Chain A
Amino acid sequence: MKQPKLIQIKNLAKTYNNDGVETKALKNATFEIEPGEFIAIMGPSGSGKSTLMQMLGFLDKQTAGDYFFKGKNVKNYSDDELSDIRNQEVGFVFQAFNLLPRTSVYENVELPLLYNTQKNNKKENNLKIDNALKAVGLEHRVDHLSNQISGGQKQRVAIARALVNNPSIIFADEPTGNLDSKSGEAIMKIFEKLNKAGKTIILVTHEESIAEYARRIIQVGDGKITKDQRI
């Protein structure tokens, strides 16, 4: 039997309705994603690339079309099931890091484990956190508070947090947007390394230099997919 695709979307569309004014943020998006891909979704701001990522990352629901994740239609999941999928199957890295303030590096990385509905023990969790921090090279900063470290380190904590539940996909929304070029490069190197180790990475960016790390580029413009090419 053929292995189902990791992600398969068919005519996916999203229409926002703000006080009676309809905005078509995404129209008829159709593509597939295989496990282990490194994809950059590109486009100018307002093009619909973030909307696309949010739907792929189970943060928002489409208004038309279908989204199959590991062969199952996402439409049929309840809100709580979607929460579990976000917890187990995906990890997010945001432009603004979104760490909890006045909270240690360790506690920030631990956060997704706290929402893990499967029972897990403290020892196992410690191991998971250690591994995640090692993967981003921050094992020596566990006890620092999130506001005591540099921007690059903050983003590495965020990646460790995204990794801790060992998800299938990591979504990164402009992960280098708030960083200087040197720290940005270091962050991209981490994504590259994770992808080589088998993780599927989906990156949203408008910077060519960042997109170059990816091996497939999906261009979005005015809510439509304008280009989809493997490099």
Chain B
Amino acid sequence: MYLLNALKFSQKNLLANKTRSFLTILGIIIGVASVIIIMAIGNSAQRLILKQVEGIGSNLIAVTPGASKENGPPASIYGIVIKTLTNDDLETIKKSESIQGLSAIAGYNNGTVSVSRKNRDENLSLIGTTSSYLEIADTKISQGRFFSEKDDRSLDKIVVLGHTIAKDFFGNENPINQKIKIKKYYFRVIGVLEEEGTSAFGALNQNDSVLIPLKTAQKLILGVNYLNFIRIKIANPNQINLAKKQITQILRAEHDIDDPSKDDFAIKDQAMALKTLEKVTDIIRYFLLAVASVSLLVGGIGIMNIMLISVNQRIKEVGLRKSIGANNKDILTQFLIEAIFVSLIGGLIGILLGFIISFLIFIVVNYLGYDWEFLISIFSIVVAVVISVTVGIIFGVYPARKASRISPMEALHYE
């Protein structure tokens, strides 16, 4: 009964000063909306990133040169060139019959090269790889053919173009069997890859790449005799751990390593990479959330400010209420409920606004071609409501206490 009446009075007071109430609530609306939006964007971006990594294949094992911690990045990320992974390693793993469920294996050499034809000249990403690439990258050819196993052993100057490159350099012409210049050599186009969804990582985007046979890339273009990495596809994800152990043993034998701490290679699977990525993106999400929370704090101070003014303006009302029997607790409760009411309304409008803006972002980002999901977690809504009520209580207590301590006699004589 009493709570209901306090709510009724709060509503009356809010409506009596519409502009002031709106400005008070605005702080909370913006705060809560930004918390909701940031949590939604954080979730969706994380899903997008993880999905693209998963898209590479969830049953892949990557072998990189140089030792690295289980969950850490490969050593090569620090710009160190490590030459300990070779074509012999690739061949040994490929020929080994002991590896359970091995279904495909490909070696990779990456680089950036100048590609030209007629008047067009661009620096493009080059992937030197072997015939199993299609299966490992889970992609297809839209025109012509891909490298055969015979090409793996040859030094032929043949090239498969990414979808965008084929369009850029050949337009409506059929690129198959035409020549394109990579560095100073003319390459014959044998195929075009099908278009791949837009990726958040430029480096992984095969649409903008040119692919040539591994050995041609090493000898002719890059001038190296080692591999950047090897990717291995295992038929059954359950066999990944076993396969990793077996590959480790093979490579240790190959590299004459007895002490595991002296490994000059690292083996990782997708699950581990995903976990690492998830950890990193989580940190970013929580950081953004903390930033958004600052605006809620500012909103709360706004409430306190307005409540203090309101207490002074309504000092006579407090006096009257006390003279007809309201005790300190009654007055405290009334002003506190008013503060909570204000912040809760702000919270609810903020949730709605956050919802709408997150949805607009979802539409725009999808329109831009990204596979963005609309994710609003119940958790973020609960957090928003809890935060706005807490803000109301914390910043309402001081003005409410001030109001409750007004002496009825002084309040009645206050002009």
Contacts and interface: CB of A to CB of B under 8 A. Distances in A.
B325 A83 contact: yes
Contacts of B330: 83, 115
B309 interface: no
B408 A101 contact: no
A103 B15 CA distance: 12
Interface in A80-129: 80, 83-84, 86-88, 91-92, 94, 96, 98, 100-103, 111-112, 114-116
Contacts of A43: none
Contacts of A83: 322, 325-327, 330
A148 B362 CA distance: 51
B327 A60 contact: no
Interface residues of A, number: 27
A111 B408 CA distance: 16
Contact of A79 (B1, B12, B15, B327): B327
B328 interface: yes
Contacts of A223: none
A221 B353 CA distance: 65
A215 B327 CA distance: 34
Contact of B16 (A57, A88, A102): A102
Interface of B (DSSP majority class) = helix
Contacts of B268: none
Contact of A161 (B324, B326, B412): B324
Given A59-B409, A60-B409, A101 B324 contact: no
A86 B319 CA distance: 12
A222 B54 CA distance: 91
Interface string B382-411: 000000000000000000000000011100
Nearest to B408: A59
Interface string B320-338: 1111111111100000000
Contacts of B12: 102-103
Nearest to A121: B1
B13 to A, nearest CB: 9
A195 interface: no
B254 interface: no
A101 B323 CA distance: 17
A59 B327 contact: no
A28 interface: no
A106 to B, nearest CB: 13
A54 interface: yes
Interface residues of B, number: 24
A59 B2 contact: no
B324 A100 contact: no
B5 interface: yes
Nearest to B317: A100
Given A98-B316, A102-B12, A103-B12, A86 B323 contact: yes
Contact of B325 (A94, A100, A101, A115): A115
Given A59-B412, A60-B409, A102-B12, A115 B324 contact: yes
Contacts of A94: 320, 412
Contacts of B329: 80
A54 B316 CA distance: 15
Interface in B302-320: 316-317, 319-320
Given A83-B330, A91-B324, A111-B324, 4 more contacts: A60-B407, A114-B1, A115-B324, A116-B325
Interface of B: 1-2, 5, 12, 15-16, 316-317, 319-330, 407-409, 412
21 contacts: A59-B323, A59-B409, A60-B407, A60-B408, A86-B322, A86-B324, A87-B324, A87-B325, A94-B412, A98-B319, A98-B320, A98-B412, A100-B317, A101-B16, A112-B325, A114-B1, A115-B324, A115-B325, A115-B326, A115-B327, A161-B324
